[in-house]
């Protein structure tokens, strides 16, 4: 029975991408490999910005400090997704979801040091990202937990390492890399490979979702204030 795992190394995918671009492996020089290394990381950087990559989502847990309003976020964080606060109720841990707000909405709060149970957060997505909680924790809360999407890790052509992507994105990766290499070494092939790469990415992206129900409900809070 054939195995279900297909995990070509970064070096193997690079050679294949050069072949798609019309360059034989025996013709490659050091300058070709340098361009491939740069093109690979440019491609993965672009993919990090194109949507929610499920394989790059992890859960971060931050201990909360009484009256501390802001908390640093690990570098490489692209987006903060779902978030919740954990409190202790006797011997039990209880999680309560909190919602994201924009910079503009956060700016409208007159007292940003008001204490209480946090209900919203603002993700200040700068080069050194920070999360601001409001109201500021009053000491009852144990931790702030959030799912974040991070950038895709840089590639490495040594040691037989595979790029940090799932198997169903391998073809999109190879075609995307070949299109970037063709733009440098075989410009006449670049447009065709770019179209094939875009199609392969669209196909792979259909599997990069959570297959769950979507519920839409109106926000009625304003009617009861």
Output phi, psi for 215, to 5 deg.
Answer: -115, 130
Is the pLDDT at 117 greater than 90, yes or no? yes
Render pLDDT for 82-96 as a digit per residue (tens, 0 to 9).
999 999 888 899 999
The structure's pTM equals 0.85
* Cα–Cα distance for residue pair 188/94, rounded to 1 Å: 60
**For all residues of the chain together, what is the average pLDDT?**
92
**224: burial class by Cβ within 10 Å (0-12, 13-18, 19+)?**
exposed
Render pLDDT for 12-36 as a digit per residue (tens, 0 to 9).
999 999 999 999 999 999 999 999 9
Sign of the alpha-carbon torsion through 117, 121, 124, 130: positive
Using 50, 70 and 90 to split pLDDT, how confident is the model at 160?
A: confident
Render pLDDT for 195-213 as a digit per residue (tens, 0 to 9).
999 999 999 999 998 877 7
Is the pLDDT at 216 greater than 80, yes or no? no
- Kindly list the domain boundaries of the chain, sorted by start residue: 10-52+163-205, 54-151
Whole-number pLDDT of residue 69 = 96
Whole-number pLDDT of residue 175 = 98
Average pLDDT of span 146-169: 88
Q: Is 8 helix (H, G, I), strand (E, B) or coil?
A: coil
Say which residues have a Cβ less than 8 Å from residue 133's Cβ, sequence separation at least 6.
64, 69, 70, 71, 98, 118, 120, 121, 144
Identify which has the larger pLDDT, 208 or 2.
208
Determine the longest span between alpha carbons in the chain, in angstroms: 73
Average pLDDT of span 164-190: 97
């Amino acid at each position: 029975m054939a195995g279900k795992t297909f995990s070509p190394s970064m070096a193997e995918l690079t050679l294949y991408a050069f072949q798609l671009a019309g360059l034989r492996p025996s013709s490659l020089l050091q300058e070709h490999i340098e361009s491939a290394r740069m093109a690979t990381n440019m491609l993965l950087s672009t993919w990090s910005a194109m949507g929610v990559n499920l394989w790059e989502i992890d859960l971060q847990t931050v201990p909360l400090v009484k009256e501390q309003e802001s908390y640093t976020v690990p570098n490489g964080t692209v987006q903060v997704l779902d978030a919740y606060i954990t409190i202790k109720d006797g011997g039990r841990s209880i999680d309560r979801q909190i919602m994201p707000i924009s910079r503009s909405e956060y700016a409208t709060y007159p007292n940003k040091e008001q204490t209480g149970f946090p209900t919203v957060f603002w993700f200040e997505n700068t080069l050194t990202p920070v999360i601001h909680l409001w109201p500021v924790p009053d000491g009852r809360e144990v931790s702030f937990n959030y799912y974040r999407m991070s950038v895709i890790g840089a590639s490495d052509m040594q040691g037989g390492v595979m790029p940090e992507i799932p198997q169903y994105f391998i073809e999109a990766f190879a075609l995307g890399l070949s299109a970037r290499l063709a733009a440098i070494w075989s410009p006449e092939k670049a447009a065709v490979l770019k179209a094939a790469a875009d199609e392969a990415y669209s196909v792979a992206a259909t599997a990069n979702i959570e297959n769950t129900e979507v519920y839409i409900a109106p926000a009625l809070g304003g009617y009861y204030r």
